[in-house]
Amino acid sequence: MKDLKHLYYFENLLMDADNELVRQAQAEGRVCVGSVCYQIPEVLMNLGNAFTVRLRAPRTGSMEMGTYYLTSLLCEYSRALLERAIEGGYQFLDCLMAPDGCTMINRCVENMELLKMNEKEHFFYQYLEVPMKADENGLNLYIGQCRSKILEPLHEKFGIDISDEALRKAVEEHNKICRLITELGNFRKEEKPRITGYEFHIITMCTYVCPHDLLIEKLEETLEEVKNRQPDEKWPFRARVAVVGSEIDDIDMIKLVEDSGAYVCADRFCFGSLPGRQEIILNDEEDVLTQICRQYMMSCMCPRHMDTPKMNRRREYVDEIAKEYKADGIIYEQMKFCDPWAYERMVGSHVLRDEYGYPVLTIDRPYAVGNSGQLRTRVQAFVESIEIKKIQGGRK
Amino acid sequence: MGKAVGSSQLGKLYSGDKKVFKHREWRGIKDTWYDYTRWLGIMAMLGKFMLHPKNVKGFFRYRWMLNYLAVPMMIDKHSMGLRGPQLRICREEYDLVASDVAKLLTKIFSMDQNLGAKPEKSKHVVLMDENEMTNIMCGFPNLEGLSWETASCYVCVLLQGDAMTHYLDVVQECGMPGDVCPMPASEAGICIDGDMPIFGKCAVQCNTTCDGSLMGNGVISRALERNGIPVHQLATPLRHTEPGVQEYAAQEVRNAIAFIEEQTGEKFDWDYYFECAKRINIGARECSEWLELSKTDYPQVIGNNILLYRETEYMAIAGKVPAFAELDKKITKMATEAYKNKTMLAKEYRHRAVIWGVQSQFYTDFVAWLLNCWGILPLFDMLTMVSLDPISEDDKEQAYYDMAHQYENMIMRNRTHGGYEVLLDDLWRYCEEFNADMVILWEHIACKALDGMHGMFEQQAREHGIKLVWVNHDLYDPRVIPRKNLRQDVNRYMRSVLREEPLDPTLEDYDDTNLW
């Protein structure tokens, strides 16, 4: 296929946490809110004059300082972020909001605070207690925490409008992005998709790390371009896979999978679109914040949600997206040393294989995959096994 | 070897190829006789236990039961070097805990569907996590809150270090990485291996200490529900020191109680709850007394004598067994008397140490070694420092908040969750309060919550002028870091940094590879 016109531009935006659009927004006097997890509702930080950047540590090399503070047994995402913070890579932030999501990311941010990693005078940290069950009690907690730890500090420190009208406007803007990404993502359902998993991943990631309003024009152009794009006569992939698991913000990861012959048709991971880029539907009867929180709580697929319905739902959801996006197999991945995904990967892979009948590959991986020969071999072998199953008429 | 404290060469008791000591420790006639008769009592308890046919069945059905042969040896290890009142406190505590565990096992096997029991037999049982508070069961006098993990996993590793290695292999064969905490991983391994006793009307799980523990519950709940045992998850807030989460926490407790009522048909009995609350308060008051003594030059209830006993009493007993409250008072009496007599636990105290972090479950008697070998006084450990706040003995509404508070402050989770303040700031505060010059910091290598503060511990210890000694271990898996290496961590520090000589040189290096 012909290269996307703006792909290089999007790739470049991912080369630095403090990218071109972030710098532009800050030059205009806007407030940059750092976050580290899906469970801090993004829409509440893209409010008025504020915009959010979910933290990444692109081009990570050595993590020696991060490893000193966190030891070599914490996940590399945490260590890479701390390393980057110590290097001064997040000086551009105006505040940082972290949930008590997983312990490791929480400790990472606490270390940043203790090491006084940001020199801005009014810089502050907020830690949110986010629900671990999807029920009314959890929702009440979520609302209270979002109000007192996100909205009120943004208002008090930066004078940001946190009225219902402002929230509705933020949701509207958020939904525009979601519609664009969903529409782009829907092309992955085609028999010969006109967008690769890699391209989609790059574009989706940009929406997590750039001010939305500055990105939207390029996204709209890209959507138009993809609509009119002609897929290659000969499809270069040998199987379709859904990638499920923990945080992936490494631009090489999906590329590696696709270079190994597996088309990534569905992205159920942090920094992916499933969930994350679904519209927030508001009604007029209920308080806006409540509606936002409920939708985040219900759609969250993080393994730290501990109630049985949610645990079962996580595996059902993988089955649903695998069907919807016509996946031949599932790759369960986890960042090495991630406890929640270690368990979810083990259980989920058995459930999806034994109860739903999918071929499943499970992998653990470093933060920066690079050009890992080991991973490439495993994905290639998985693709071959799917092909053999197809030839022999095995399950799925 | 003799009557006086510190007169034994304890390292000579070890033999590399045996599971037990070469011979019993000689502590003078009076103490040796006392210790021996208590040892006989434990042997009699074991014998009586094995007379019960269901227990014999359980013994042959479950691989983990073999570890219980090591009960007498476990108590011997934990009482090494003790004399006089400390020996008596130790024996009283451990014997009571051992008898409580024996009762737990007998109950489990009499109701276990794997051993042929009918589900009706356990309709009065609510299953709880091993690391979970059981105080919500204080309102159900006709029900019992039991933990199968305590019997099959937690106690087993105390008894025999490598008790869980088979189950860790099982879970890793299923795809679990080797870097997760081996405690929940081995529980999951037991489930997968089919070695989980099946009993109980329903279960209340809780997010206890860490992400691993939370996620391990997912494996267990699948196994329970497959066996027709409904599971409720009680989500306790992580940032437990914040006022904004307390209503949520109390509501979680209300919801869990409602679940138990619905499943069992029992109603929450406030009279029984407040009766237990009184005993919980007694436990807290007496423990405060012991800690007050530890601030003086003559601490009495320290190290192993506070560690496992207080853990058991705080969470598993939670005021439901009167014998514990009675023993608490007795211990205070003995300790106060010993304090007046300026009784020492070693011939010399060189350092006053706070034991922080997560203890090595396969080497809990390590703190006795610290004292006997190097004269490091283990004042208290992190797991002991839980909530000592009095709870209401008559206010029903307040009681929900009290129960929630204790759930939030379960052992270990009150430090692994709640922000760095409860892990770091509290440590330095305790060091000052207890006049400690040293911190022995257990580094459980798979505990991400503790590891995540590694650098800050070092940095802040330097700032506070505290001697910080890291002791690495892997909680349940001595294959990763054996006991000898734990001792080496301290030996190296004492020799090369502090340039000290051991109090008992026979303990500096010995072979306990095969010891239970």
pLDDT at position A232 is 87
Cβ atoms of B304 and B364 within 8 Å: the answer is yes
pLDDT at position A84 is 97
Contacts of B238 in chain A (CB under 8 A): 100, 129
What does the pLDDT average to over A197-207? 98
Nearest beta carbon to residue B210 from set A103, A303, A336 = A103
Cα B365 to Cα B162: distance, rounded to the nearest angstrom: 15
Contacts of A336 in chain B (CB under 8 A): 177, 179
- Give the DSSP H/E element, type plus range, for residue B441: strand B438-444
* CB–CB contact A132 B214 (8 Å): yes
B411-to-A35, A132, B204, B388, B405 alpha-carbon distances in Å: 31, 20, 17, 12, 12
Strand segments (E) across B235-350 = none
Q: Give how far A127 is from chain B: nearest CA, Å.
A: 8
CA closest to A333 among chain B residues = B175
Tokens of residue B392, six digits: 């209401």
Tokens of residue B110, six digits: 């009499």
B498-to-B361, B370, B490, B493 alpha-carbon distances in Å: 27, 15, 11, 7
Q: What is the pLDDT of residues A137-173, one digit of tens each?
A: 999 999 999 999 999 999 999 999 999 999 999 999 9
Nearest beta carbon to residue A107 from set B179, B242, B452 = B452
* Binding-face residues of B in 410-449 toward A, CB within 8 A: 416-417, 419-420, 424, 445-446, 448-449
What does the pLDDT average to over A238-257? 96
Q: Give how far B138 is from chain A: nearest CA, Å.
A: 23
* CB–CB contact B177 A342 (8 Å): yes
* CB–CB contact A339 B217 (8 Å): no
* CB–CB contact B420 A110 (8 Å): yes
Cα A316 to Cα A327: distance, rounded to the nearest angstrom: 14
pLDDT at position A182 is 98
- Give the DSSP H/E element, type plus range, for residue B411: none
Cα B397 to Cα B63: distance, rounded to the nearest angstrom: 45
Q: Give how far A32 is from chain B: nearest CA, Å.
A: 24
Report the Cα–Cα distance between both ends of chain A, in Å, rounded.
Answer: 28
pLDDT at position B513 is 87
Q: Which residues contact residue A209 at a Cβ distance below 8 angstroms, ignoring those fewer than 6 apart?
A: A13, A14, A17, A19, A22, A53, A54, A56
Classified as helix, coil or strand, B512 is coil
Classified as helix, coil or strand, B484 is helix
- What Rg, from alpha-carbon coordinates, does chain B have? 22
Q: Give how far A143 is from chain B: nearest CA, Å.
A: 11
pLDDT at position B262 is 98
Q: How far is CA A130 from the centre of its chain?
A: 17
3-state secondary structure chain A: CCCCCCHHHHHHHCCCCCCHHHHHHHHCCCEEEEECCCCCCHHHHCCCCEEEEECCCCCCCCCHHHHHHHCCCCCHHHHHHHHHHHCCCCCCCCEEEEECCCHHHHHHHHHHHHCCCCCCCCCEEEEECCCCCCCHHHHHHHHHHHHHHHHHHHHHHHCCCCCHHHHHHHHHHHHHHHHHHHHHHHHHHCCCCCCCHHHHHHHHHHHHHCCHHHHHHHHHHHHHHHHCCCCCCCCCCCEEEEEEECCCCCHHHHHHHHHCCEEEEEEEECCCCCCCCCCCCCCCCCCHHHHHHHHHHHHCCCCCCCCHHHHHHHHHHHHHHHHHCCCCEEEEEEECCCHHHHHHHHHHHHHHHHCCCCCEEEEEECCCCCCCHHHHHHHHHHHHHHHHHHHHCCCC
CA closest to A78 among chain B residues = B452
Interface check B245 vs A, CB under 8 A: yes
Interface check B255 vs A, CB under 8 A: yes
CA closest to B255 among chain A residues = A137
- Give the DSSP H/E element, type plus range, for residue B234: strand B231-234
Contacts of A102 in chain B (CB under 8 A): 211
| ipTM for the predicted complex | 0.95
CB neighbours of residue A176 within 10 Å: 16
B220-to-B125, B193, B395 alpha-carbon distances in Å: 17, 12, 35
pLDDT at position A224 is 98
Report which residue type is found at A274. Answer: L
Average pLDDT score over chain A: 96
Interface check B242 vs A, CB under 8 A: yes
Interface check B239 vs A, CB under 8 A: yes
Cα B82 to Cα B301: distance, rounded to the nearest angstrom: 12
- Residue ranges for chain B with pLDDT beneath 50: none
List the Cα angle B388/B134/B56 in 5-degree steps: 125
Nearest beta carbon to residue A339 from set B174, B221, B448 = B448
Classified as helix, coil or strand, B179 is coil
Tokens of residue A321, six digits: 């997206």
CA closest to A66 among chain B residues = B455
Cis-peptide into A275, omega within 30 deg: yes
CB neighbours of residue A64 within 10 Å: 11
Contacts of B252 in chain A (CB under 8 A): 137
Cα A131 to Cα B398: distance, rounded to the nearest angstrom: 23
Please report how many Cα atoms fall inside a 13 Å half-sphere around the Cα of residue A221, on the Cβ side: 11
Q: How confident is the model at residue A180 (pLDDT cuts 50, 70, 90)?
A: very high
List the Cα angle B401/B405/B410 in 5-degree steps: 150
List the Cα angle A68/B131/B249 in 5-degree steps: 90
Q: Which residues contact residue B296 at a Cβ distance below 8 angstroms, ignoring those fewer than 6 apart?
A: B339
Tokens of residue B429, six digits: 């505060």
Cα A204 to Cα B152: distance, rounded to the nearest angstrom: 47
Tokens of residue A235, six digits: 């499809």
* CB–CB contact A74 B448 (8 Å): yes
Q: Which residues contact residue B109 at a Cβ distance below 8 angstroms, ignoring those fewer than 6 apart?
A: B52, B54, B55, B57, B58, B115, B197
Nearest beta carbon to residue B180 from set A104, A138, A339 = A339
Can you tell me which residue has the tokens 């969930």?
A: A275
Q: Which residues contact residue B463 at a Cβ distance below 8 angstroms, ignoring those fewer than 6 apart?
A: none
CB pairs A-B closer than 8 Å: 152
Cα A380 to Cα A386: distance, rounded to the nearest angstrom: 10
Cα B510 to Cα A305: distance, rounded to the nearest angstrom: 47
List the Cα angle A302/A305/A311 in 5-degree steps: 90
* CB–CB contact B454 A68 (8 Å): yes
Contacts of B419 in chain A (CB under 8 A): 110, 127
* CB–CB contact A340 B215 (8 Å): yes
Optimal mutation site among A339, A341, A344, A354, interface B, most CBs of chain B within 10 A: A339
pLDDT at position A297 is 97
CA closest to A144 among chain B residues = B244
* CB–CB contact A347 B222 (8 Å): yes
Q: What is the pLDDT of residues B396-448, one digit of tens each?
A: 999 999 999 999 999 999 999 999 999 999 999 999 999 999 999 999 999 99
Give me the residue spans of the domains in chain B: 10-507
Q: Give how far B218 is from chain A: nearest CA, Å.
A: 7
What does the pLDDT average to over A190-202? 97
Cα B330 to Cα B312: distance, rounded to the nearest angstrom: 17
Tokens of residue B455, six digits: 């650098």
* CB–CB contact B448 A141 (8 Å): no
Q: Give how far B247 is from chain A: nearest CA, Å.
A: 9
Tell me the β-bridge partners of B356: B441
* CB–CB contact A78 B180 (8 Å): no
Q: What is the pLDDT of residues A19-74, one digit of tens each?
A: 999 999 999 999 999 999 999 999 999 999 999 999 999 999 899 999 999 999 99
* CB–CB contact B233 A303 (8 Å): no
* CB–CB contact A70 B451 (8 Å): yes
Tokens of residue A162, six digits: 């946190």
Cβ atoms of A259 and A376 within 8 Å: the answer is yes
CA closest to B445 among chain A residues = A73
Cα B421 to Cα B326: distance, rounded to the nearest angstrom: 35
What does the pLDDT average to over A238-255? 96
* CB–CB contact A100 B239 (8 Å): yes
Q: How confident is the model at residue A392 (pLDDT cuts 50, 70, 90)?
A: confident
Sign of CA dihedral B259, B261, B264, B268: positive
* Binding-face residues of B in 455-514 toward A, CB within 8 A: 455-456
Contacts of B215 in chain A (CB under 8 A): 303, 339-340, 342-344
Interface check B251 vs A, CB under 8 A: yes
* CB–CB contact A70 B455 (8 Å): yes
Q: Give how far B451 is from chain A: nearest CA, Å.
A: 6
Nearest beta carbon to residue A100 from set B218, B238, B244 = B238
Contacts of B211 in chain A (CB under 8 A): 102-104, 304, 339-340
Cα A18 to Cα A10: distance, rounded to the nearest angstrom: 14
* CB–CB contact A306 B255 (8 Å): no
Q: Which residues contact residue B449 at a Cβ distance below 8 angstroms, ignoring those fewer than 6 apart?
A: A103, A107, B209, B210, B416, B417, B423
Optimal mutation site among B238, B259, B358, B417, interface A, most CBs of chain A within 10 A: B238
Cα B147 to Cα B151: distance, rounded to the nearest angstrom: 7
CA closest to B443 among chain A residues = A71
Cβ atoms of B352 and B377 within 8 Å: the answer is yes
Nearest beta carbon to residue A140 from set B171, B177, B248 = B248
Q: How confident is the model at residue A83 (pLDDT cuts 50, 70, 90)?
A: very high
Report whether pLDDT(A396) > 70: no
Interface check B46 vs A, CB under 8 A: no
pLDDT at position B17 is 85
pTM of the model: 0.96
pLDDT at position B1 is 64
* CB–CB contact A311 B221 (8 Å): yes
